[in-house]
């Protein structure tokens, strides 16, 4: 079986991960499945930005455990049960976990797994790691809990990292929840085209071309009411400077800062912080795991939108 480990090469808080930080090893798993356990075959693994933080001894978060040197890496995963000694799981069941080991096969504690219903996503199981999983929940619950979106309020939403897994959903959900205008920021013309033509964004800005502040003013003439922030850094500073009084930042991620030794969320530059305070702009840390009491209903909502074609997924 193939395992993925961290190597003992020191990365540190400042630095970009490289292949040499990991290694592949072949090993075997136990022959016997104990009571309460299941043997699974791995079908899908999710590779996500937060994993960079797990390469630090201090992840900057109470809910994230750092990856340990020479231990199997883990994250969101989906597999199929091949043998079961668990009362609620049978051979052929599809299961998922947020701490799935990066290996082709494993013996896992059945209580740590959640059974999936493939019909909810028309058999597209990988959606349970994306649009109908933590990614979709982050977009939906972030907007509902921190965005203060109200139908008919004529609100403009801006999404950074808009072509990413979470951002592309957030813009669409912002529209479904009632925003009248949605503008995305992405890094290529192709991504911008997909956002507008496929995802229903009103407009998209390629931040690598032209004056972002100028384009933002033209595309959001009434200012910005809701900002779904995936990136932080200069892009976010530009957006915040054009936000309205009593507007809201959904602090989802700060990917531009993950290879730097800064606290999370990173502090704003003094001039931007002044704008935030003077305009009473909310900027609160958002952790989707704090809202798991709403998980079941929210996943069903996401699946319904996907089935109805209201939520486009790439």
CATH number at residue 156: 3.40.50.720
Residue 299 phi, psi (nearest 5)? -65, -40
Within a domain: residue 19? yes
* pLDDT higher than threshold 70 for residue 96: yes
Same domain for 301 and 251?
yes
Reading phi first (left if > 0) and then psi (alpha if -120 to 50, else beta), residue 161 is in left
What pLDDT sits at residue 13?
A: 72
Within a domain: residue 122? no
**Domain encompassing residue 65:** 2-117
Q: How confident is the model at residue 15 (pLDDT cuts 50, 70, 90)?
A: confident
What pLDDT sits at residue 49?
A: 84
Same domain for 172 and 288?
yes
Distance CA 29, CA 196 (A): 48
| Domains held by the chain: number | 2
Mean pLDDT, range 120-125, rounded to an integer = 95
Give the end of a domain, one of 84, 117, 150: 117
Write down the mean pLDDT value for the chain.
91
From edge to edge, which strands make up the β-sheet containing 74-84?
105-109, 37-45, 74-84, 94-101, 114-115
The percentage of residues in the chain with a pLDDT greater than 90, rounded to a whole number, is: 74
What pLDDT sits at residue 143?
A: 96
What pLDDT sits at residue 2?
A: 47
Same domain for 91 and 186?
no
Mean pLDDT, range 52-81, rounded to an integer = 86
pTM for the full model?
Answer: 0.88
Same domain for 96 and 170?
no
Convert the pLDDT of each residue in 176-231 to its tens digit: 999 999 999 999 999 999 999 999 999 999 999 989 999 999 999 999 999 999 98
Same domain for 159 and 75?
no
Same domain for 286 and 170?
yes
Q: Which residue has the higher pLDDT, 266 or 213?
A: 213
CB 142 within 8 A of CB 170: yes
Within a domain: residue 60? yes
Give the end of a domain, one of 56, 90, 117: 117
Same domain for 204 and 143?
yes
**Which CB contacts under 8 angstroms, 24+ apart, belong to 97-102?**
98/134, 99/74, 99/75, 100/42, 100/45, 100/74, 100/75, 100/76, 101/3, 101/72, 101/73, 101/74, 101/77, 102/3, 102/4, 102/45, 102/72, 102/73, 102/74, 102/75, 102/77
Same domain for 74 and 223?
no
Give the CATH number, domain containing residue 25.
3.90.180.10
Convert the pLDDT of each residue in 69-85 to its tens digit: 888 999 999 999 999 99
Per DSSP, the residues of 216-266 read HHHH-TT-EEEEEESS-HHHHHHHHTTEEEEEEEEE---GGGTTS---SSP
Mean pLDDT, range 153-164, rounded to an integer = 97
Same domain for 138 and 284?
yes
Mean pLDDT, range 111-135, rounded to an integer = 95
What pLDDT sits at residue 262?
A: 65
């Amino acid at each position: 079986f193939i395992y993925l480990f961290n190597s003992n090469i020191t990365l540190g808080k400042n630095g970009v991960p490289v292949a040499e930080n990991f290694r592949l090893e072949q090993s075997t798993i136990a022959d016997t499945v104990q009571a309460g356990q299941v043997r699974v075959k791995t079908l899908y693994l999710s590779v996500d930005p937060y994993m960079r933080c797990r390469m630090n001894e201090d992840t900057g978060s109470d809910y994230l455990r750092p990856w340990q040197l020479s231990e199997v890496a883990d994250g969101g995963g989906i597999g199929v049960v091949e043998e079961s000694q668990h009362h609620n799981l049978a051979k052929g069941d599809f299961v998922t976990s947020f701490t799935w080991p990066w290996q082709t096969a494993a013996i896992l504690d059945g209580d740590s797994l959640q059974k999936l219903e493939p019909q909810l996503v028309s058999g597209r199981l990988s959606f349970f790691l994306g649009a109908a999983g933590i990614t979709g929940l982050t977009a939906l619950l972030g907007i509902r809990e921190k965005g203060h979106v109200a139908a008919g309020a004529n609100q403009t939403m801006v999404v950074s990292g808009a072509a990413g897994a979470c951002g592309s959903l957030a813009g669409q959900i912002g529209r479904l929840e009632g925003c009248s205008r949605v503008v995305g920021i992405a890094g290529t013309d192709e991504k911008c085209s997909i956002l507008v033509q496929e995802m229903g964004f009103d407009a998209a800005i390629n931040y690598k071309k032209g004056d972002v502040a100028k384009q933002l003013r033209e595309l959001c003439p009434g200012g910005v009411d809701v900002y779904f922030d995936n990136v932080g850094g200069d892009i976010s500073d530009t957006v915040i400077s054009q936000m309205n009084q009593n507007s809201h930042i959904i602090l989802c991620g700060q990917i531009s800062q993950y290879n730097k030794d800064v606290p999370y969320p990173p502090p704003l530059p003094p001039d931007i912080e002044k704008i935030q305070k003077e305009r009473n702009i909310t900027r609160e840390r958002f952790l989707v795991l704090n809202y798991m009491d709403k998980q079941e209903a929210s996943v069903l909502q996401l699946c319904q939108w996907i089935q109805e074609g209201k939520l486009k997924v790439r």
